[in-house]
Structure 1
Amino acid sequence: MSNFQVDNNLRFQYSCARERRLSACLIIYISWCFIVLSCYFVSIWARYEDKYEAIDLLYYLMYCILWKIMILLDAQFACTVSLVCDRFKAINESLSRTATILCKPYVAGEDRLSNSPIDAVQRFASIHGILCDLVDQVQNSYSISLVLVVISSQFHLITTVYFGITQFNVNDNGMMTFVILQAMSCSLHLLRLLMLVEPCYYTTAEGNNMKRIVCRMLTAAPTSGKMAFHLEVLSRQLMMRTVSYRPMAACALDRPLLAAVFGVVITYLVMLIQFQNYET
């Protein structure tokens, strides 16, 4: 079953409002990243004659170009995961309508599903399997880069916040500019983590919501017959194939990861500041 057939079976329709919101978020993210990198390059260029050689500016220019490529890859991953999340949301809406009709008695003259509930459950199981395969493909395609992003973001957050704190009390206009640039860089790394984690979190939430809907259908459906059999198959499929992004099985891209990253950053900052105070 192709992706177009999945959209047709779900009767999926693109939301213009959601597309605009997604495009606005990506544009804001990419623009802010480019602004931060440009400010860094301008600050180095302003002090070019005093401290830097031409080769240093060339190296930093290549570094900025590499960063821009990585930012575009992050935006591509976030957009792809958001599109997958929309499909899970669409299947949950269709499954909720099936559950609502299944849980209440039939009334003459009331609208029913175009297909029988049994056919609908079979179709949902097939579509869920295809979407899980798609999640695995996206996860495997970006696995190495995602792990590197998480590790590098932790390192950059520690270093940027630490150097910003150490230079905050220095009475020098150049140092205050450096502190402002460090704060902008910190916001860049935080925004980068959010762009990776939040779409994955909403996709995982839709997968868990599908489990709750199927449990409600299991309690309302008869304990025997074709409907009970197909619901049991779907529930086992949901248990065996959980929706989550775990690149290289190193970590789960979910909101607890943000809490873990903040905890690591705060712990190392406390250690570094204590060692600095001890040395002075």
Structure 2
Amino acid sequence: MSALYFGTGVASPKYGPSCGLPFEFLDFFCDAFKLARENGCDRVIQELTDCYEIPAPPLPAAEWAQVNLQKKLIGQLAQSLGVSDRFQLICASEFRNDPEYLACLAETRENAAAKSITVPSDYVLLQSAGVDYFRRCYGVTAKMGWLLDPENPTDGRWDEFYFNSRYQEISGDNEFPFLYVKAAMDPTGSRCSPYLMRPNDLDMGRVGIAADYDIGQIPEFVSGNKGARKYLSAIETSVSKLEALHDEGIFDCDLPWDRSYAVENKVGIIIQELFGAARSPDIGMKAANKNTPPIAAMAVLS
């Protein structure tokens, strides 16, 4: 048995704790299962990074809340899509003190020192050790990441390409497959993380889970905004990808909507039914036509 794995976080150095889970995480999740099938992997593992050093200090309350929120939402998504038996979410804090991981970290440090490789942060070594740990202990045979600019991956110093290239340099292993997908897009048309919500994302119209926002407002908002039109198109693509993977048998479930529904309504159902979030009672969703039931798209965690 082999597995594909990918990592996500709950905070960024620049913006602080995430303000919920962006809807685009669905696209990232779908990509993981699509790439797993294409690369002969029968399982998908997600590492949720909730500690950044050893020994790990206690997380701030806001970050800890995001850990619990994301574990609940993502766990429910896996269950709703019928992949709980093929998906595992592991927090970094669960293995940072594992003797197997500490052995991988010691080996990583030794290799870096032997090759006189310097890194700007110890976190780079923790990341590299994590790749070896998942390969040895969980049968991981491929890792998925995202790129801000797929055409120029080396431009992003803290992009995943950077961490993966440091792993190759330190380990000397250039054969292990690192697979990349495009970063998410925000309503300005800029690329961004597929699993972090920045403080101003809701204000600019980005759809988040466990936050109050009505995607029904987007068609009016995009009329004079080229970036937002691209964003809405990306949302539509995410939903279409989910439907296509369902039709291919990758997800073992019944999708609880009619394919004729407008994308606004599908998003609302995905948030409520697949992620298990409760809709905000004061937000209404306009129907695409009289046969399409109104659904509130934004949600708060129940």
Higher helix share: 1
Q: Which has the higher contact order (CA 8 A, sep 6+)?
A: 1
Higher strand share: 2
- Check whether TM > 0.5: no
TM bracket (short chain): under 0.3
Larger radius of gyration: 1
TM-score by length of 1: 0.21
